[in-house]
């Protein structure tokens, strides 16, 4: 997490706010300092532990498809999918943003402060500015061509037509004014009135720069789409692993279910007693099987009959476990049949298996705990790095392109439909042991979020790594593909060669995920951990309690 966001969370905690207040404050700052990853133009998932009530709740504020959507919306007249590059940078890809509503629901239901208090740090930073980091400059440079497509985006992020220099001060007065409006009027200011109208205008009539010839497709969003948006308060996905209880996010996030699937499969192996290459082989193949089911069955439960009881069944996991061989599967495997593990009769019609579509990696995650023991694991995003590329003119925030997460070809549980929320991989996760908090974690990284969280859990529980080692360890991500994605450098290691002997093959990338984690130690202390290197290194901090009498 950005150091300024960490400072904002600590400031709110020191002022008597709870974990929910601090999480929203940090998220608002990230909307200023990390605008290409998250912000009020997007959405997310929040998992909250309420210490006094000893229960876990979740807030789904994922973006929603407009009323104009239908299963063929991403298809050309000839039935072929619209080119992905044209879906990404378009009004067509924008879902109704859910972040502001999610923040408000969290504060009203579970917080102790209002918008005016928790948005104050972000407003100050937006007005006074912050130093441009190498990551900010690099991400701006990577988006320079499409940012130039839009007058509002070019004006904000390419002042004078140039990428801001590393170390220079970047200010966003329009976003500061937007936050001030929300601080005064709440979510109603965002979803009704001038801001809502500006969002609709941007989606339906992209603010193209003169002379742009790119095919930027408009969307069809209405004011009623924003006025009708709501956040959903849902129970978590609950699973168990070696005596630990794991709470994850439910659909339309596929993270909680997919992690539970993989853990259930792996529970039948004593990973900690095996040679590391054997243990990692099992981790990769369990991930492959879990992703096969994810890709085939998961979508928004308001629209899809997802076989959740079967997917979470230990008996189903036992059957799936038998499919893992001594060598890696050659390419994608077929999904299993969780319907047979229902108490109800098995449906005749089954979804078609399909490999996962591309999912943007521009996401951010934060984890907070307060002195009362309340915990928040929060992942939120605008999808691609830079979202859909369009800044809402006069308001200082980028819009999402989350609707590219739909599978463009129906029928499928994740096919586009009006008011539907696209499937996500975001995986904010809480882990308990004997009824007490043990670990809270999450990560950005598109579909690799799921494997990042899963591998971190195994690192701690099975491989007995310290909190810091578990986050820093090299990552491998298998998502039911012919090759496993690994971080650069791993492919030359002795462990990689041993896994190659078991049939594994690699696709090399610079980094996978960017986790934050809070570990609860046996002596009652906490350990806050952020990435030491990935994405330029993260930020973690604590508020030291004041001595009695001071």
Check: CB of residue 405 under 8 Å from CB of residue 357: yes
In whole angstroms, give the CA distance from residue 28 to residue 26: 5
Coil, helix or strand for 370? coil
> Any residues with CB less than 8 A from the CB of 178 and at least 6 apart, and which?
40, 195, 395, 396, 397
- CB atoms inside a 10 Å sphere around CB 139: 20
Check: CB of residue 450 under 8 Å from CB of residue 259: yes
Task: Give the Cα-Cα-Cα angle 476, 483, 296 (nearest 5 degrees).
Answer: 90
Which are the catalytic amino acids? Answer: 363
In whole angstroms, give the CA distance from residue 447 to residue 254: 9
In whole angstroms, give the CA distance from residue 480 to residue 108: 41
Strand-by-strand arrangement of the 375-383 sheet? 232-234, 55-61, 43-50, 375-383, 362-369
Q: Classify each residue of 485-517 as buried b or exposed e, where b means 16 or more C-beta atoms within 10 Å of its C-beta.
A: bbbeebbeeeebebbeebebebeeeebbbbbbb
Cα-to-chain-centroid distance, residue 508: 22
In whole angstroms, give the CA distance from residue 1 to residue 529: 10
Task: Give the Cα-Cα-Cα angle 191, 6, 246 (nearest 5 degrees).
Answer: 80
In whole angstroms, give the CA distance from residue 217 to residue 69: 14
> Any residues with CB less than 8 A from the CB of 501 and at least 6 apart, and which?
277
Q: In the numeric block, which tokens belong to residue 70?
A: 């239908």
Coil, helix or strand for 36? coil
Q: In the numeric block, which tokens belong to residue 499?
A: 């896994």
Check: CB of residue 394 under 8 Å from CB of residue 174: yes
Coil, helix or strand for 145? helix
């Amino acid at each position: 997490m950005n150091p300024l966001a960490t400072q904002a969370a600590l400031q709110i905690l020191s002022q008597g706010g709870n974990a929910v207040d601090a999480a929203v404050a940090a998220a608002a700052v990230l909307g200023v300092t990390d605008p290409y990853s998250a912000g009020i133009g997007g959405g997310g998932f929040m998992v909250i532990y309420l210490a006094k009530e000893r229960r876990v709740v979740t807030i789904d504020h994922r973006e929603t498809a407009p009323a104009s959507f239908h299963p063929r919306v991403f298809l050309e007249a000839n039935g072929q999918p619209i080119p992905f590059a044209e879906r990404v940078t378009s009004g067509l890809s924008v879902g109704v943003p859910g972040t502001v509503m999610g923040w408000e629901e969290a504060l009203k239901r579970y917080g102790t402060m209002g918008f005016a208090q928790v948005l104050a740090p972000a407003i100050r930073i937006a007005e006074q500015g912050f130093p441009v980091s190498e990551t900010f400059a690099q991400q701006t440079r990577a988006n320079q061509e499409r940012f130039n497509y839009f007058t509002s985006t070019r004006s904000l992020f390419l002042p004078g037509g140039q990428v801001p220099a590393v170390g220079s001060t970047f200010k966003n007065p329009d976003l500061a004014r937007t936050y001030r409006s929300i601080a005064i009027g709440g979510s109603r200011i965002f979803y009704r009135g001038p801001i809502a109208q500006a969002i609709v205008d941007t989606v339906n009539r992209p603010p193209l720069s003169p002379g742009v010839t790119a095919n930027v497709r408009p969307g069809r969003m209405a004011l009623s789409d924003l006025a009708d948006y709501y956040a959903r308060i849902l129970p978590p996905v609950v699973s168990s692993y070696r005596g630990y209880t794991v709470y994850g996010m439910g659909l339309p996030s596929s993270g909680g279910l997919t992690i539970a699937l993989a853990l259930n499969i792996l529970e039948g192996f004593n990973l900690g007693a095996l040679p590391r290459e054997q243990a990692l082989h099992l981790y990769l193949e369990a991930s492959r099987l879990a992703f096969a089911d994810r890709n085939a069955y998961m979508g928004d439960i308001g629209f899809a009959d997802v076989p959740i009881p079967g997917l979470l069944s230990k008996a189903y996991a036992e059957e799936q476990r038998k499919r893992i061989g001594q060598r890696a599967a050659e390419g994608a495997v077929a999904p299993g049949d969780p319907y047979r593990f229902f108490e109800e009769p098995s449906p005749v019609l089954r979804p078609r298996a399909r490999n996962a579509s591309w999912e943007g990696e521009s996401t951010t995650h934060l984890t907070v705990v307060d002195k009362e023991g309340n915990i928040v694991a929060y992942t939120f995003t605008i999808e691609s790095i830079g979202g859909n590329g369009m800044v809402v003119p006069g308001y200082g925030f980028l819009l999402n392109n989350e609707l590219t997460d739909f599978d463009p070809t129906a029928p499928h549980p994740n096919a586009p439909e009006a008011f539907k929320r696209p499937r996500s991989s975001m995986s904010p996760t809480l882990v308990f042991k004997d009824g007490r908090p043990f670990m809270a974690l999450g990560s950005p990284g598109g579909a690799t979020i799921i494997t990042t969280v899963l591998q971190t859990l195994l690192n701690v529980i099975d491989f007995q790594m310290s909190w810091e080692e578990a986050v820093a360890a090299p990552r491998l991500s298998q998502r039911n593909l012919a090759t496993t994605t690994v971080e650069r450098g791993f492919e030359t290691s002795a462990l990689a060669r041993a896994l190659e002997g078991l049939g594994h093959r690699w696709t090399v990338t610079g980094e996978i995920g960017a986790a934050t984690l809070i570990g609860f130690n046996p002596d009652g202390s906490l350990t806050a951990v952020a990435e030491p290197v990935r994405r330029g290194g993260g930020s973690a901090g604590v508020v030291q309690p004041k001595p009695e009498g001071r």
